[in-house]
Every structure is written in C-alpha cells, then in structure tokens.
Structure 1
Amino acid sequence: MEWFDGDLTRRLVFTNETEVVCTQGRLSLLKAKTGIARPDSMRLLSLWRPLRSHIRRLKTSEAMVRAIAYQREQDFVKHGRIIGQFRNQRLLFLVKEALKAHGRRGDVEVFDGKSGGQPMTFEQQYRLFNSAFLAFGPQGTGLANILWMQNADCHRRPAVIEFICSADTMHSFGCWNWQNSQKVLSIKSTWAISGGAFWTRYFHVWLLRTPLPGKVWIDEKGFNRSLYEALRPFRL
C-alpha cells in the first residue's frame, strides 16, 4: 500500500473491532469483510473506472515491450487448472512463432508470482504487467495483475487471453463446485471480476480435459485464432 499510494497509506489507521479510537476530525469507518459472496458483485464500472484513473495519476507507464505467460505451478496452486510443464512449453512455442510472424521479438516472460525464488513485490508485478502488450494463461489469481496493464488507445490496447473451464473439464479439479450435494460446472473469469477489463482486448479460450490426472489443456485452435487477432494491432 505504501508503494501504491503513500499519501493514502499515511491517512489510514487499522484497528481491531473492539478497540476504542478517538479522533479530532471526520472519520470514515470501513468494516472489514471476511470475503465476498460472489465475485460478480465487483463487476461495477463505477468502481473500476475511478481506480484505473487513480493508477494513471500515481504511476508512470512503462514501454509496452513484452508478452507474459502466466503459469500455475502444481507445488503452489491449490485450486487446479494446471497445464503442466510440457504443455506450457508448447504454449510458449506457439506464442513465439506468432510473435515472429507479426515482426515482434520472440521473447516471452513467464510469470508465476516469484522472482529469484521469492514472492514478487506489488511494484515488481506492476512494472512487469504495465510493460506487457499481451498476457495469457489459465484463470487464476495471477491474472488479477491485468489491472496494471495500460489503456494505450482504442486500436493498440494490450490483449489478454484467458483460459477458462468448459463442460469438457467438468470433472477437472478447479472447474466445479458443490451445489446441493452435486458437482456443477464453475466457469470463473478474471474478465467478469474486473468489470469487463475495458482497458484491454479480451479473449476467452476453453480449457479441455487430458488423460493426465490433475492436468488440463486448451482448445489449441481457439488459442491460435485469439493469439493472431490479439497481436494484429501490434504487427511491425
């Protein structure tokens, strides 16, 4: 918080609910919640537009020079939607070939939330995603970093390709919930939670089941089509 908005941080006071607080001026009290009933309740443009404007006022934009591959590692992820090392390499190959076809350099930066074996700071994650013209990967917490991607302009907005659960992954871990003692398909999306992520060009690609336990794959044809459409405005 100190990195994001130092002035706001200095005006915030965190207290326990049972603690008595005395103040000489006006006081705004926000009661902490343990969770949000439905992420869809955050899908409010009245929330996201001011937040995006605030970020632009506070932070300097980086040059958009990179593509980011968000990967969920089995040792650290507890909610499934894991593609696996071999297929992640396949994704990197497809993206590098598409970048070359569009005249972009072929480097793709892998993001798993760590740098040098340590969790990345908010500032590091901001600088990484703010400099990206493309981010792709399975639905998950790491994709929340698309918040930092630039507005650019109507024609050269950065692109996001998100892999989401499908009926084919109904029995894959991370793609279902219990409802009245029955398994039901759970199609979650960072796009929905982010109010439609209006500052990006957004693409969804279905996840597919695989014979490997605990692993999923993607609709490769759908990914390639989305990829080439995502890169088209950035063709050199």
Structure 2
Amino acid sequence: MKIALLGYGKMGKAIEEIAEKRGHKIVLKVEEDIENYDLDNSKIDIAIDFSVPKAAFKNITTCFKQGIPVVSGTTGWLDHYEKAKKVCEENNTAFIYASNFSLGVNVFFELNQKLANMMKGLEDYSVEIEEIHHVQKLDAPSGTAITLAEQIIEKNPRVNGWQLDDAEKDEIPVYAKRVEDVPGTHTVTYDSEIDKIEIVHTAKSRQGFALGAVVAAEYLKDKTGIFTMKDVLADLFQN
C-alpha cells in the first residue's frame, strides 16, 4: 500500500517502521495540519492519522473529500466524529476510528465487556478506572479509558456515567496519571469489602499500537463504509 502519515511524531515514526517492514511505502508525511499539502488519490491508497486533536477533523475530512480512506487513532476530537462519518459516506470512501489500535487492547476491551456483564448484578462492588501515560499525552483521560467506561455503562444499568477524578455514587471515577516514558497502562478495578477484582493492560512500547494501525489499514484498503476494530479482529480470527 501507498500510505500517507498524518502526524509524524513518535507514533508516526513507529507506524512508518512497521509499515515498511510489512512491504508498504510511505508516500507522504504530514507533521500536523494537512492544509499545505497536495493530496493525490492516485498516489495514496490510505491515510493513517495520529496527528493532534485540533487538526484531526480537518485532516480526516480532507482525505475523504479526495476519496482517500482513513485509519485514525487521534483522540480528543470526537465531538466531530458523526460529522466525519457523514463526510466519509458522502464521498463513498472508508473509515476506521479507534481509541486504541493495539490488538492486545482490543482483546482487553472484549474482556472488559464480559466482566462488566458478569458484575452488573453484584451491588457490593464499586468500579473505577485508572490510566497512566507519558507526559506528552495531551488529552486526559485517554480515549482508551473512555471506551472502557462507556462499555461498562452500556452493560451495567446501575452506572449512569463517568467523571475524571471526583464521581458521584452512580458514576465511574476515572483517574489519569502522567509519568515519564510510560506508553500506557489501563486498570479496571471492582472493589468490595470482601475482595477486589482487577483486569490490567500494560503496553510495553508503541509498537503494539503501530502494528494494530497498519493491520487496520490493510483491512480497510479497497473497502467502503465505517468500520471498527471489532471488524478487524473478526477478520483476523476468521483467518
């Protein structure tokens, strides 16, 4: 594939390394905002966006308008997600957004949903989420932590929302910590007076996120429509 990288920070460089090892070619590198770049869909098969929140919506929709499908892992811009889907559909192209492209994290999401479903009737347990990331991460809580919270809310009728740090009794407290050189750790904890249950995902490097993004791009190529990492995992497990 011929890939445009939207955002050429640490994640962009990790994606470049893995994509080239898998036989793909990086044909465009955008530092942040796509505005001053000339997009030619005859030279670009797909764009992978790990830019910044303020640039993501414009970057993504500009690609759609040129008929270029997009895989996006930028968080902090999702107020405009539905608009982006509409632009994608209007231009008959394809889109995958994920708060986390790590294949391991997406297995973790599946475990989180199953555990939430099991715990919904056990009223003695409170639930909380903690995420730890590197100090360069701009948004808090992480998109992954928000996804985990939303999954629990969907499964448990006793939970009505989430809040960063201070939460009401029927809300999930989400704690965000920033520590130097931590790729990402997410912990979901169910606690009672009797015992505590935790599931944890710890990223050891950015390579897992980068590999997942490239695998998602490989899945998306030549497709039309809106997809998720569930679709990508289902395809992997089927094969």
TM-score by length of 2: 0.34
Q: Which has the higher helix share?
A: 2
Rg: which structure is higher?
1
